[in-house]
Structure 1
């Protein structure tokens, strides 16, 4: 978002670091490099990527007939920034060709890329912990899987329905993440139940092995509380636009009481590990872990007392574990606060930290009814998020105030995808060659599915100190992380990611293009800044690289200056 440009690297420091780090050399490599048509800076005339040319104020809008793109470079690149792990030249051209709706439809139709199950006998690449294997699977999938939209939504859901390898084995994380990906385009109610019954969540928030309590007591409240507070309805009642409901005195109205937390906790009792064949065990608890099948009920361990849920709903006495769980989840799913609570957070993760109430309302209303009387249709909700006028406003108005800071994992992945990084692993027995990427995001406060708490790496309500600006990802930003991002930008721009390579040499496609400093700056502006590089920034980069005689060095310096800029760090 434009108002998040509260930091800007000192230009002299950045340039001196770059000239020192890039002067000697080309990135070696077998990796492929992007090629792209130039795009004008904001205020200039852009040439579209792929086929056809475009005109317009920094947007590359296609004109003419035949193979001319129907969607602008800026629209295509911005959509890919929002809905994938980063634009590539090929995908920009694809979106230009088929349009926003066509690209979304094609992504919905793609089969799921699943993370591979970690062998029970750990391989040599992760001999002491399965976490290394899981993280390698994660990085490889997010970097290269064709079903980018599904994977990006699974990633987002993993930050909403938080579980973490900080406190549980990574063996369980592969099936959990695959479940999130499988449900990404389904119905939210299905997702709620699949998450609830996953052994990952059962372990993480103590629902597994939670038995009916003794008379006068209540079951473990951990999952029941977080399912309401963090995963479904929130702490206070919401209007459809996400704003708080208030009472006659102007105070926010609480969404639930402690008694209701206890009621839900009792409703969730009686669940344990499935047998090896995925069926319910004969006895409770089953202590033989099965990480790959949903938890199963044992009714003798289920609380059968009456339970009062939200909005006066009552579970009568004598119910079964499965029946009571259904009533409890239906109660949450149909609560009026759930659509705005869920939709606002999805928008924050995918499009902008500061969605207007009107934007939240439009998407939440689609959640309530997809136009065919269906509540919770994720395809309809996601389409509404990405095609909303507020999501697309920045396509034609570079000054539109929206966006969010790239969290560390998105920052790394989007830069690697844009620059065409590939693995240098040639050992066919090494199936886990991507794990080392965690070393680059861990210092910045993130590793895949390793949140420090159930509140995720950053809370959705975080406000930048000294401002009133809601900017969740900025809770990870501090003096140390700013400098560490400069270090990561240097590694990315010089091809110094251990185990990976790209070609940013003078003989690469970008290197050849760098014979014209303006052309290569514009090409990088398409990949990284949607063809909306401010004129002053373009001038500064062109002036910085023009004196360099090594065309590869021109590329590397330009890449560094873009990656270290606030214009790139904040996804607009």
Structure 2
């Protein structure tokens, strides 16, 4: 992140003397990382990439297990409590609350998804699985901003459970599970998608056929193995597909409807009980195209008998085996977890593991994640200002929760939607503004040093004057009071539902420099500049401690010092620039 980019984010802090610059320099010579980590700072940096934020306990465990051992341990853990199970439990509570009432009834919605998401992010055991699932949810996008998706919250919950379950499995299986999931059926309109009918001028819906190629598997242009563009004789990029490919593939995705144990023409378009929301869509041959289907060099001949399952297998096999998938997915996952601008060599190494996990298997996501996180480019603490990424808003909140031992007084982690950029974070999980995610992976800020250098900065697409001020205002409330809950929630809470412990920080409050060092270490992986530490230390010291009076006054002053240090560090470029 360059100096102009930092200034764009934090010009509001200049008057307070708290703006600090971003680093410079060149990428160091890559070398294999020391395993276990050579320092607590290196451990925290790894955990920032691989989890929703490091804790002291995580750092200690990583120091014992080492990078490779930690990844192997984490990938061996099963997914924790399901989202569907959580929502069903909340539904039972809502039903009991609603009994006898005619107004003010409670219904499941996105907030119940957020509750379980933040509860697992803050305290779940399967840290890596959860983090990878969140990354996958921003590549294989389904969004509750869509009215049909939002109206079936159990289906959204099931979709996320599916991402968690497939996070370390086969990409081919993940692609099929995504394709057939009812939430995707709602979102990209494969539900009730019928075969072509020339007499009526009806053509199959092309929505999913287009997006599964452009956004989920192969992208717009042919790629070399290291993710760089292939070009023709004139130097122009070569498209991966044409509209004819979209039209041919769209015929494959016809004849799918609601799951039913006893499918009929009615269940094609009408839900058949709760299992329909969470079970793969059913095949309805009567509505499936029997015409010839040509796409990406594969041709399925016209048939007299519809074969939706066979056509789907051929299509997904073609997509999953396309040479673009390895570098395409490697780039997207690296951008999500490590850096917005990976070198071609880094992409190439991870893509090679996608192509062959060393045991002859293609698309082994466990091997891909391991290679991605343990790669020398991921582990090198580069001083290059173009290295790293802007920490996305959800990860800022979870980092605060985990670093300072946040807990939920209700036990339900009552975090509401935080989508508003002026009053919230401008982001809530599984609630992207479009199928392109919250921000485009190829976004380059149009002005300033980042744009001039051609550096990608996807998360900066959500940055403007409103979101900058909104984030700082959000921080003020978060750090001062905690978040969530209130009298209007179930269960109701007195004050904020989620509050931090600050157990390690409060004893350091008498010595501002020690307090600031601790907060900087846990939130920035010890990367805060000396200038910024001095500025924040001065701000903390300006809150004097009473020398006489009651203990409560001294305790409040100490807590105020901790809050000042935490607020200013969360607002600092060193925290927001994940390196």
Q: What is the TM-score normalised by the length of structure 2?
A: 0.83
1:221 corresponds to: 206
SS at match of 1:314: strand
Give the superposition deviation at 1:401.
4.0
Q: How much is the aligned-residue C-alpha RMSD, in angstroms?
A: 2.5
Q: Return the match for 1:250 from 232, 235, 249.
A: 235
Bigger RCO of structures 1 and 2 (CA < 8 A, at least 6 apart): 1
Q: 1:320 to 1:349 in 2, by over 3 A?
A: same
Q: Return the match for 2:129 from 139, 147, 150.
A: 150
Matched with 1:185 is: 168
Q: Distance in 1 between matches of 2:12 and 2:184?
A: 44
1:472-520: CA deviations, max 9, x gaps?
A: 011111111111111222233324323222234xxx4312122222222
Using a 3 Å threshold, how does the CA distance of structure 1 residues 281 and 369 change in structure 2: closer, same or farther?
farther
* SS, match of residue 241 in structure 1: coil
Equivalent in the alignment of 1:473: 459
Which whole-Å CA distance do the structure 1 matches of 2:126 and 2:384 have between them? 31
Shift in CA distance, 556/282, structure 1 to aligned 2, threshold 3 Å: same
In structure 2, the partner of 1:115 is: 83
Q: 1:97 aligned to 2:64? A: yes
In the alignment, which residue of structure 2 is the partner of 1:337? 324
Q: Does residue 265 of structure 2 align to residue 298 of structure 1? A: no
Between 1:409-418 and 1:192-201, the stretch displaced more is: 409-418
Whether contact under 8 Å (1:267, 1:321) holds in the other structure is yes
Q: For 1:437 and 1:214, locate their aligned partners in 2 and report how far apart those are by CA, in whole Å.
A: 43
Cα distance in 2 for partners of 1:489, 1:351 equals 24
The equivalent residue for 1:516 is: 511
SS in 2 for 1:438: coil
> Could you state the TM-score of these two structures normalised by the residue count of structure 1?
0.84
Matched, 1:422 2:420: no
Q: 1:513 to 1:62 in 2, by over 3 A?
A: farther
Q: How many residues in Structure 1 have an aligned counterpart in Structure 2?
A: 511
The alpha carbon displacement at 1:150 in A equals 0.6
Structure 1 counterpart of 2:575, from 543, 568, 572? 568
The Cα offsets for residues 30-89 of structure 1, whole Å up to 9 and x where unpaired, read as xxxxxxxxxxxx9xxxxxxxxxxxxxxxxxx999xxxxx754212210111111111111
Distance 2:302 2:190 in 1: 21
Task: Using the TM superposition, name which of 118-127 and 155-164 deviates more.
Answer: 118-127
8 Å contact kept, 2:49–2:337: yes
SS state at 1:354 partner: coil
Q: What residue is the counterpart of 2:392 in the other structure?
A: 407
Unmatched runs of 5 consecutive residues or more in structure 2: 24-32, 99-104, 484-495, 546-556
Q: Does 1:237 align with 2:218?
A: no
Gaps of 5+ in 1: 17-41, 43-60, 64-68, 427-431
Shift of 1:258: 0.6
The answer on whether the counterparts of 1:107 and 1:147 sit within 8 Å (CA) in structure 2 is yes
The Cα of 1:245 is off from its aligned counterpart by 1.2
Q: Residues 440, 513 of structure 1: CA spacing in aligned structure 2 closer, same or farther, 3 A cutoff?
A: farther
Q: Does 1:488 align with 2:474?
A: yes
Give the corresponding residue for 2:250.
265
Pairing of 1:286-435 with structure 2 (within 5 A): 286-289=269-272, 290-310=276-296, 312-318=297-303, 320-394=307-381, 397-398=382-383, 401-425=386-410, 432-435=412-415
Partner residue of 2:179?
196
Q: Is the 8 A contact 2:163 2:174 kept in 1?
A: yes
